[in-house]
Structure 1
C-alpha cells in the first residue's frame, strides 16, 4: 500500500469538522472497498475508523489485514466460515461473541460497517459490546430493533436510519451484503469526492 498522508478516519471524525456530505462520501468509499474484498473471498474482520486511511487525493483505503480471513479461494465455489474471537470490541458483531461457534466473516464485516456508519454521524458508540448480558445499551437496542424505534438513531436521516437497522440486524443472515448496500437508493445518490473536492467544489475535511 502507498503512503497515506491524510491520516486515519478516526482522526477526521474526532476533529469535528466533517460535513454530512463528507461523512456519506467516506462511507460509500468504505463500502466499495468492503464489496471488493468480499468479491475476492476476503473478510477483513476488524473494520473500524482507525483502520481506514486517507490518501492525499481524498481516497479512503482499508488497512490492517492482520485478522482477515480468506473464506473463499480463487476459482473456489464453496465458502468457509470464520472461527475465533477477533476484532475491536465495540465493532464486533453479536455472533462473534458466541465463543466456540463459527460465523461468516463477511456478515460480521457488515455489522462492523454499520457501527462505523453511526460513529461517523455521532462521533461515538451507542453501545460498547454487542452482548445483551454485559451491555444494557445493547439490550435496549435489541428491544427496539424490530420496530425501528431505538432512541439513539432517531436523529439520523431517514434513509440512513433504515439502512442502519438492516446492517445491524442481530440475525446475520438477514443483513444485506455489501453489494446490496451499494444498490440502496441513499448510497446510489452519494457522489464520491474527486481529488479532494465534492461535486460543489468544496474541499473535503476528511483530508485534514
Structure 2
C-alpha cells in the first residue's frame, strides 16, 4: 500500500530514535480526517540479514497491535510500502516531559497521571510484557488528559502462559530511570525494573528534576546520598 494514498498528507517529525522516526500524518476528510502518529521503522543495518530485520520489525508491530488498553497507545494499522515499514498509531498531542516541565500540574493532577501510568504498566505486566524504557518522554497525553504509554521497541516478554519467568539482562533504558540492578546484576526481573522507573517518573513529576543522573554509587553523589540515607533499602529481603 502507498502510505500517502492510504492516509493523506505527511506532517512534522515528532521524534526519532534508534528504532525509527515518528511523523504526523493527516487523513483526508474522505478517510475520516483523523491525525495519526506514524513510526517509520529504521532501515536494515549493515550486517543484519533480511530475515533478522523482518523478525525485529514484526516483533515490535505484533506487540503494538496486540495491546488494547486505554493507557497504552493504540496501533491502528501496519503498512509495508516499497520496502519501508510503517506503524500507524493514534495521536496524542502532549508529551508528559513538556507538561511536567511547564510547572502547571497540581498535586491531584500528578496523582491522576501517575495512577494512569500504573494502570498501563499493570496491564502490560498482566500480558507478560515488560516495557524496559519507561520515562516521561515515553508517556503522552490526549487533549482530554488521558495518559498513554508509547514506544515498545525495547519491550521484552518475561512470561509465556504456563512457563517460568524469563529474566532480562543487559543495560536497556535511559540512565536516570534505570534501576540499580540493571547496571549491577547479570540478570534481573524486568517487572521490578519497570516499577523502579515509574517511581522515578513520580519523583520527576513532584520535583520537576531528576533525583540523580544514574543509579551508580561510584559516580553519582546524589544517588550515593540517597542510598546512605536509606540503609533499609540495601538489606536483602528475608
Give the TM-score taking structure 1 as reference length: 0.68
1:120 aligned residue (186, 205, 217): 205
What runs of 5+ residues in structure 2 fail to find an aligned partner? 1-73, 75-88
CA distance in 2, matches of 1:132, 1:21: 33
Matched, 1:65 2:152: yes
Equivalent pairs counted in the alignment come to 150
Q: 1:14 Cα shift?
A: 0.9
CA distance in 2, matches of 1:117, 1:37: 19
CA distance in 1, matches of 2:99, 2:163: 39
SS of the aligned residue for 2:90 comes to coil
Deviation per residue, 1:135-154 (Å, 9 max, x gap): 0111110011136xxxxxxx
Question: What is residue 20 of structure 1 aligned with on the other side?
Answer: 107
Question: What is residue 103 of structure 1 aligned with on the other side?
Answer: 188
Tell me, yes or no, if the aligned pair for 1:45 and 1:109 is still in contact at 8 Å. yes
Question: What is residue 29 of structure 1 aligned with on the other side?
Answer: 116
1:142 aligned residue (227, 231, 234): 227
Tell me, yes or no, if the aligned pair for 1:4 and 1:54 is still in contact at 8 Å. no
Tell me, yes or no, if the aligned pair for 1:3 and 1:55 is still in contact at 8 Å. no
Give the TM-score taking structure 2 as reference length: 0.60
2:171 aligned residue (85, 89, 111): 85
The structure showing larger relative contact order (alpha-carbon pairs under 8 Å, at least 6 residues apart) is 1
Q: Give the superposed CA RMSD.
A: 1.7
Structure ranking higher in strand proportion? 2
SS of the aligned residue for 1:64 comes to coil
CA distance in 2, matches of 1:92, 1:133: 15
Structure with higher Rg: it is 2
Matched, 1:39 2:126: yes
Tell me: CA distance 1:93–1:170, structure 2 relative to 1, closer, same or farther (3 Å): farther
CA distance in 2, matches of 1:23, 1:145: 25
CA distance in 2, matches of 1:44, 1:141: 26
Tell me: CA distance 1:69–1:170, structure 2 relative to 1, closer, same or farther (3 Å): farther
- Shifted more, 84-93 versus 50-59: the winner is 50-59
